[in-house]
Amino acid sequence: MVRTMLSAALVAASLTAPAPAQDLGDIVTGVARQYLSQEQDRAAFSQAQGQGTVRAYRSYLQQFPQGLYAAEARAQIRRLGGSTADRDNPVAGGTAAGDTSGLTRQQRVSVQRQLNALGYSTNGADGNFGPGTRRAIALWQRDRGYSQTGSLSTAQANEILRGTAAGNSGSGSSRPTALGPADSEADLGLSRSQKAAIQAGLTRRGYDTRGIDGAFGQGTRNAIASWQRANGMQATGYLTAAQADSLMR
């Protein structure tokens, strides 16, 4: 009898004890992430509504197959005479997902490395898609005419991975192949302010980078290649340490 009463008291105490600060922080972080995901979902569907085409609604479903508006998007596709069948090949055996849930951790690292090599800083390559990676993805999407959701569709993830290790996306265990000039530039570890200074240097020399924002998009790559070509260098679109230093000066 006494033992039973003690056990009941311990259970009650564990249920009423305040949660540790770390657990509370995890809860708050989880809520924030959920809110961000919902906002991205809402923005993507709003853009699809604005375009009002089968292709636009399919694009939304590729990003958010289980989204808040997935059923409505499928209904709109059927109303427009289209099919809702998934036309994308999944990555690494996963299913299409707005948050690339089909990617292995190594593939996420490969995506981050490729984004960095292309000039979109993810603030690290650890396999976790945090705010830095989300921003890099949004910039990459912007330069390619995609909806700037910050989340990759399966097709977009495949597009990036094909640039790192073609044929390796099925296993996710092989290391990305060397990218030559892109890897060399990535190893420089250029900060955002340094990239902005390089863009300013190119602009002063008459090479339009399409903005000075510290992110090396396609406009900056084209400007770098034109500058290299005009100065008798190999026009790779990626900078060596000496070239970066010259442009910053």
CATH fold of the domain at 92-177: Muramoyl-pentapeptide Carboxypeptidase; domain 1 (1.10.101)
Res. 113: pLDDT tops 80: yes
Average pLDDT, the chain: 75
pTM (2 d.p.): 0.34
Distance CA 176, CA 112 (A): 11
pLDDT digits (tens, 9 = 90+) for 169-192: 344 434 444 446 777 788 778 889
pLDDT digits (tens, 9 = 90+) for 178-227: 446 777 788 778 889 899 999 999 999 999 999 999 999 999 999 999 99
Residue with structure tokens 């593939």? Answer: 107
Whether 34 contacts 42, CB under 8 Å: no
Instruction: State the angle between helix axes of 105-117 and 131-143 in degrees (0 to 180), rounded to the nearest 10.
Output: 60
pLDDT digits (tens, 9 = 90+) for 18-48: 545 455 556 556 666 777 778 888 888 988 8
Please report, rounded to a whole number, the percentage of residues in the chain having pLDDT higher than 90.
15
Q: Domain ranges in the chain?
A: 41-83, 92-177, 182-248
